[in-house]
Structure 1
């Protein structure tokens, strides 16, 4: 009976203006914007568009990352140090942050560069076309820049860390990719899958919502087969390897504002030459890393999904569409999301006209029609007495008359005609069919079934005669779900009669 449903539950996103503010506050993009505003006639770049060494130090100063030799911490995110080695590490970290920000500024069009010919002939740089959009563009312009930045960081994240370049650089000076045992397409698909799983966990009912997800669980979701019971040692080793890769990748993605990430506790890292220990202690699970998608991250991952052709709806997508699209579209939505989508659709519409459109769209004898009528009833519960003229128009409608009477009675309306017995039983069958399609709480469906049969003596003798396309299926379901054995047997007999009568 169920209609086709979206691949993913709908996500709730704030307005583009709020997302754009979050984008500009992302540390990496904020630093890229500062460098783009600094770039000018004196800026010099190398053959690949990177800042030359002396200019890189200037960029460090512009970003406030300067490390003072006396040990004072003068910069953003640079810790204090007590010896020469710590000082050199702090300087290197500051230069990496500045170089990453410059590269992002180039990748996102915030900076325009003219590459140098060689080390002796540097090129120049200046503000790019997109820099003006940061202040003068629309929120959508800012988000487009951020998405370009996300793409660039994603590409960096799937590149392996090259600890020893000497071992992979050939005699011709080129990097031997074959020696890396690295498949860029496979690495990209792995990270896409991880972000997809994190997205699904975040938007699903019963998931962590805004809470963080343990890194071991996320890694296991990509490695451990669904039908595997106790993971083998080999699988646990693969989970640990995946965790270490994700630890590096999430550190990068956090800088662009995609995630909030609590890294793996360094004390848990394996000693050189040892395999990482498998994360099995639930009490210490947070030490193995915790990650959550930010609101901006939800926006970014959804954008990539949409580009890939994935059905990833957002609350508000249906607000400007017709009533038929609304009632059909929310068929697979969780209750809270369906209510929010409906409220957005009703907002700004004239109540009587909207009610009339909803009732018209709820008609039908197709498999999805009972659920449409249920959602129509729920939508009408959000409107006031202004809808009454439209509701009264369908009192004599075989499919909508029962629904209309319920709505009027709940509001204490006068002159509500009593329903015929056939209308009462048709509405009962339709309501149960809708609840079965909605895949709601089993206990609630059982209580609905038992309540209906308890209020109407001889329910099944009348129900099998109901001219509704779902009568047979509903009675079969009642036979399975009714907790009274006698009533369940009567339901199964009634289902057989209904199918025999209809010839199905």
Structure 2
């Protein structure tokens, strides 16, 4: 039975929200120190220079921090704080025990969306930007972190200063709700089968943790505080709205694939029209971190199903700029190279109709075989016949000759399927002969 999904209207931006360009300017101001130290590291610690890390975590060694402080006129403590911010905001990427500049740093001066994504990444990591007070129970700290989105939503709705006492009361209520939702189970003394469900009230003073959360959120530029009150900054108010919008987008998944793996989601989108599929991709992406989603899509593209390979890169087009680094990294993988080159060409502004010109003849032929494999597995036979027209070779004999040489693992199956589908007996015979020759190594 078909069930209609409830569609929730996306929230509107708060009244008076600055334009994206102004928000990006504010974000650049917040992250100016992080950008400065990241660019210093790019120049001073690049290939062929002294290493900038020493403990396997891509943190700066004492010598490197002192060197950066001397070069930039700062203290080593400021350098370390800015470096940590650069890591959290994605200006530098950690790979094992080393770090390198990210696409976001390269695009910083020209791409406002890259800047805002970087600041949102820092906003999401506010609890890591400042260490929590010593002596606190880790479980209670985690509960406060989980409760803060509701506190921030209340600050946004208030659209002005809110007394700390009111925020503390809301935080205590939310922590109690979280504990109740967990339905913590304890057993009475001597009981064997009679669990007692408990929903304990907060038994640890939360005021110090609220103070920590407010300080940390202020440190990342999300709010200001003073005189016992807290107020969201324009950036903080916009970020809360973005999070609410993501929740609403996720709730509007047209095909209900949000909770599926990347592979299952792509299979669910295979029969959708392009616009509907893109809406599904956006909903699926909104429910995940960008890095994790891109990794899952590329893993799906590495599988045996050629259809998923093409669909995965369609979904990556919806991701856009944040996927650039990962897509560039897979150019070296033969099965993904043609798709990655087309994606990068379109990302760099090449018209999609002309993007194929970035492929060599061999890469274009490999892509033709891969697409034919997808059609043979999932499409109609007449689609496979029409696919002949998409080949770059001017004649069928030339196509067959080059198809045999590219070494695609599905070459034989594609040629057999094409021979069975083609209405021209002479051409079908030639295709079957080519399939036999590939199969026997001739």
TM-score bucket of the superposed structures, by smaller chain: 0.3 to 0.5
If each structure's helix is expressed as a fraction of its own residues, which one has the higher value?
2
Which structure is higher in RCO with an 8 Å CA cutoff and minimum separation 6?
1
When normalised by structure 1's length, the TM-score is 0.33
Structure of larger gyration radius: 1
